[in-house]
A = this chain, B = another copy of it.
Amino acid sequence: MVDIKDFEVETLGECRVDTPIESARFVEDDDHVMFHYCLKDLQAYFEAGQTPPYFEMAGPRRNIYFDPSKLKCGIVTCGGLCPGINDVIQAMVMELYYHYGVRSIFGFRYGFEGLAPKYKHSPLELNPDVVTDIYLQGGTILGSSRGEQNVPEMVDTLERMNLGLLFAIGGDGTLRGAQAISQEIKRRNLKIGVIGIPKTIDNDISYVQNSFGFITAISEARTAIYTAHIEALGARNGIGLVKLMGRESGFIAAYATLANADVNLCLVPESPFSLEGLMAEIQNRLERRSHAVIVVAEGAGQEFFQATSETDASGNVRLGDIGVFLKEKINQHFKKIGVDITLKYIDPSYTIRSVRANPYDSYFCLTLGHQAAHAGMAGRTNMLVGYWNGQFTHMPISLAVSARKRIDPKGRLWNEVLASTGQPRTM
């Protein structure tokens, strides 16, 4: 059984300031979001006389930790682009400025570089006029960068600026960075809150059911899959091969497959396959229908590449390019068996990352940004804003970075994918 301790969120201290914000529903101390949603799981805890694990619910508190008139906040955006970053920035600035009355908000430029003195990037002052309409564009108005910076130097910057709250929008690496900053703050006995906002277009952060930009990513994948479908139909034995994002988890590939009935094969890291099995399946499909659409997550089939210790600027292992690999292998296979095929390979990566948030994600980002502001004002730290069972939650960063969220090959999602494509469970 999951340990309830892992769900406990750190605070800077007691909340003694009356909130200036109006709300018909403040979150109370006993507003908890159940971790489990199935009856039998819960019954086990109650029968064992234990409290089942839960998340602290996000939202505005009656009492807050910081005095808004004296508070200085900072926002930093790190890693690759993801639809909705500007929406989150806008939401946080609007909430802090209009509802809490915080008048001093800074945006650090180009990710953690903006906190490292050596780059000499001046922070951008943020206020409602600056952030008006930024949600109309993709990307991040703050700029971003990959990779770590020296933690003590970054905390020096925070001290020097007399910052009270740091909001960090970023992925796994960024969250680890935020954790390290938070620990250094604690070591120095400072009262600076650090709030993470999980950004992962792959939607692979543990205990976070939906991360912003993910639904937009699935939406945008439609164009690539349509391309593959039309190209496949346009030639005898046409094959459209689409590589989608998903380094360790194939959620984008799986959901995009379910969202587009034209996909005939979906390949993800969580469900290994043999090349023989794959070729047989493609051949089978071509014989029956004379065209095929294949979606492959970038992290699928990594077992076909030699292990490498190379990493990119974010510290991620450099993956073999499964799209190019499969393109070649499929072409070779059909050449060998004397079947003329026409394969078109589509890799839409940046196009998906750079679009603005779709309306669902704009809504999600707005609400997420508000929760981040509430959490920060209420003195929470070393935490991130999560999402569970339709509710925004608070969770320790440590819980989020403990492991990747991955598709369960025996679970509902993958079963739906198999049902939709008709592909065999094992290839």
User: Do A81 and B230 form a contact, CB below 8 Å, given A39-B30, A98-B422, A419-B95?
Assistant: yes
The reply on A346 being an interface residue by CB < 8 A is yes
Q: Which of these binds chain B: A67-75, A153-161, A175-183, A217-225? A: A217-225
Tell me whether A37 and B344 are in contact in the complex, defined as CB-CB below 8 angstroms, given that A231-B139, A351-B227 are known contacts.
no
Given A136-B137, A412-B59, A419-B99: A37 touches B34 (CB 8 Å cut-off): yes
Q: Mark A227-262, 1 if CB is under 8 A from B, else 0.
A: 110110111101000000000000000011011111
In the bound complex, residues from chain B placing their C-beta under 8 Å from that of A133 are 261-262
Which residue, of A137, A219, A415, has the highest number of chain B Cβ atoms within 10 A? Answer: A415
Partner of A236 from the list B81, B95, B113, B238 (CB cut-off 8 Å) is B113
- Does A5 lie at the interface of the complex (its beta carbon under 8 Å from any beta carbon of B)? no
Q: How far is the CA of A200 from the CA of B24 in the complex (A)?
A: 28
A219 touches B24 (CB 8 A): no
Contact of A25 (CB < 8 Å), options: B36, B255, B410: B410
B354 and A390 form a contact (CB under 8 A):
no
Give 23 CB contacts A-B under 8 Å: A25-B411, A30-B39, A34-B34, A34-B39, A34-B42, A39-B52, A42-B42, A81-B230, A90-B261, A99-B419, A136-B136, A143-B235, A143-B238, A144-B235, A219-B358, A219-B360, A222-B359, A224-B351, A258-B363, A258-B366, A348-B351, A358-B358, A370-B416
Counting from the closest, the 3 A-B pairs by CB-CB distance are A259-B359, A139-B230, A24-B410
Q: A133-B261, A138-B230 are in contact. List 11 more A-B contacts (CB 8 A).
A: A33-B39, A34-B38, A34-B39, A133-B262, A136-B137, A139-B230, A218-B363, A255-B359, A259-B363, A261-B362, A346-B351
